[in-house]
Every structure is written in C-alpha cells, then in structure tokens.
Amino acid sequence: MTVHIKTFTPTPLFPPKTTWDIEGVKEAGIYTWFKEIQEELPNGWVKVDGQKMLMLGGYSYLGLNQNQEINQAAIDSIEKFGTGMSGSRFLAGTTTLHSELEQKIARMHGKEDAMVLSSGYLANVSTIACLLKKNDYIIGDKLNHASIMDGARYAQAKFVRYRHNDPEHLDAILGKIPHTARKLVVTDSVFSMSGTVANMPEIIKICKKHGAILMVDECHSIFVLGEKGGGIAEYFDLDPDDIDITMATLSKAIPSSGGYLAASTKIIDYLRHESRGFIYSGALTSTLTATALKSLEVFEKNRGELVKRLHENTAVFSEALRSYGIEIGHSETSIIPILIGDTTDAAIAAKKCQENGLFIHAVFPPVVPVGKAILRASITAAHKKEDLTAAAQKIYEILNELKHKNIHSIENS
C-alpha cells in the first residue's frame, strides 16, 4: 500500500517583522519608548521612574496642561454629564458642549461650520476617505503625516504624491489630471519631523489655477504660528477662504483630545452624514469637550503672552544648540530636529539623554529618510529659559561623547 503524504507550505511568520528593528534595539539595551510618566510637574518637568526629567518630547506647546481653570471645567462637566457618552455623535452623543465647541472652532478659523471627532488621526482618515470617489484624485506632499496617507489609501480615488514642499511639481501633476475630475490637494502646514512650513501662498495659487480643493492639516501650526498663534493663515496673512478645509487637533497646544474639521456648511454637513469615522465612533467625551472649550477661552484671553513666551523659548533653545555646532535643520517652529544621522547613534543618544534627565526620543526611518535619524525636541511656553540652555549643553556633551566612540549604525553592523 502506497501512502501519499501531503506537503504543506510553511506558515509565514506571524506577526510579520516590525519595520523598525525593535528586538535589536531591546537586546542592545537602548529601547526608550513607552516610558511611564508618573506625574506632571511645573515648568515643563515630569517624573519618570522616580526621576525628575525635562519634557522635550511632548506637544503641550502652550504649556496649558494642569491649568487650574481648565481642570475645573473638566470637573464641572463630569458633574453635569458624567464620564462617558451614550453613543456616536450621529445618535445620542451630541451635547450642548459639542455644539458650542464646534461653533467656536468655526469662528476661530473664519469658517461657516466645524465638526469634532474623537481623534486627529480619525479626522484625517475618515474625511479624506469619504470626500473623493472613483476617478477622482488626491494629491499629497510626500512627507505628509501618516493619517493623511492612510486616508488617501482608503479612498477610492487615485492617490498621487508630489515632491516635498515643491509647488512646481504639484503644478505639473495637476496639469496632467483631467479638468473634469474632482481634485483634492492635502498638505501639512508644519511638517512634524522637520518643523518646516509648507509654501502655502504658492500651493493656494496652484490649487486655484487647476480648480483643486485644498485641505490643510494644522495640527502643528494652529495656536503656534504667527504673533497671536493664528496658524498658517496669520503666518502668511491669508484669506481663510483660500483654504477650503482645515483639519487640526485638540491634543497638542490644546490639552484635551480629539480632532476637528472646519469648512463650509455644505462640506461639514456632507461629512457629518458620510464620514464613517464620525458616524461609527463614539463621541468625544463631554469631559474632553469641556476641556477643549475652556482651553480655547484661556488661549483667547492670554494668546499674546503665551505665544510670545513659546517663540522666545524656541529661539533660546535653537540658538543654544547652534552655538555648540549642533545641526538642527531649518525649522521655523517649536519642533527642533537634532540631526544625528545613523539609527544606533540616535537611539543611544536618546537613552543617554533620558539617563541625564532629558525626556526626548529618537526618530528612525521610515518616519525620516534612511541615514537621517534625529532626536526630536518640542519646546513649550512652560519651559524656563535656563532649563533649556542647560539641556542644550547636556545634549552637546552627550553627542560629543558619542562622536568620539566611533559607534556604528544598525544598518552597517
């Protein structure tokens, strides 16, 4: 009797390998992510593993986290609405706080209407995915945030990327698209790894020339750019109507959570009834909504002072780093990329910084190009200037020490 043994194809590795060499970094003892913050302290300090550390890795640009007026608004909302929501915004999840917040956001951006979602990622993904249909086109900057890329990939439309911050290439791409097609151009206003600002006046000109709708992600520019924190419109003295859709977050300069869109009534009404991320997600809690609402009020009352302090602190830190010969690129904002180069050096530098009381992280490829790993610092209005100059000196000492140890990158090992 002949026995036929069936040959099975080996099951592929599951889960697949991570994009980053996480295991290698862990084995080398230089894994620095997911640190537990035990307490937030005054003046931009936090407590981690019982150690006091200067927070240089967060997004609280205006230093409003732990503001007592904002905290009280959150407490008051719990007493009135409780801690949770009863459903999505579409059904039982809209309170008077949500409507009030959306009206305030619309006025702030000079738009007719706005809508708030439970995260900034969701705001980008679900909006871009539902706005365009088959045979339409989405055109985005090559270095746009991952949420913009994901939204474009989920959409039925064709997705084309133009060279980073290159309006001429955008113009050339739009010129090849049929004039009858719907076209959505999407760009970050401030790019989150470099701190550079998009050439918005030229992008607007090109969108008008080709009849394209323009959507701008202002997560790192609103409340930050301009003398009064008015964002990209103030920075370039733009007409708010030149940007068709503004997206931003409530979890960076504003110490809450969630994301929002501001646009015409027609666009917002469409999104409220078509955006799957809005319809099929639980509403932003009333506590977070009240927090965001009060934060906007606090910002409006103190914007001049807060933004001035943020800009001054950014200048102090940037100038201190440059005085030590540390390369920080061409950032025009409070995002300061400290250019390291190879991946292992960046990981070791981050580990050394944290051991020396500086809460900062390395950023690896593919988030940044290969060979261009960075330490990414973010400055806030809460920082003290003397702490920032001391931090710059410590970073210089750490980088100088690593430079003389001839450390090789993961890619070359």
At residue 75, what is the residue type? I
Q: Is 404 a catalytic residue?
A: no
| β-sheet bridge partners, residue 161 | 140
Catalytic annotation, pick one of 145, 183, 252, 361: 252
Catalytic annotation, pick one of 77, 192, 256, 257: 192
| β-sheet bridge partners, residue 287 | none
Which residue bears the tokens 């809005």? Answer: 278
Q: Is 192 a catalytic residue?
A: yes
Residue 392 CA to its chain's centroid (Å): 24
Coil, strand or helix: which one is 197?
A: strand
Is the Cβ–Cβ distance between 46 and 53 less than 8 Å? yes
- Cis check for the bond before 366: say yes or no (omega within 30 of 0): yes
Is the Cβ–Cβ distance between 256 and 292 less than 8 Å? yes
Q: Is 257 a catalytic residue?
A: no
Catalytic annotation, pick one of 220, 294, 352, 372: 220
What is the Cα–Cα distance from 270 to 324, expressed in whole angstroms? 52
What is the Cα–Cα distance from 96 to 99, expressed in whole angstroms? 5
Is the Cβ–Cβ distance between 298 and 69 less than 8 Å? yes
String of DSSP letters for 304-371:
HHHHHHHHHHHHHHHHHHHHTT---TT--SSEEEEEEESHHHHHHHHHHHHHTTEE-EEE-TTTS-TT
Range list of β-strands (E), 163-270: 183-188, 213-217, 245-249, 259-263
Active site residues: 192, 220, 252
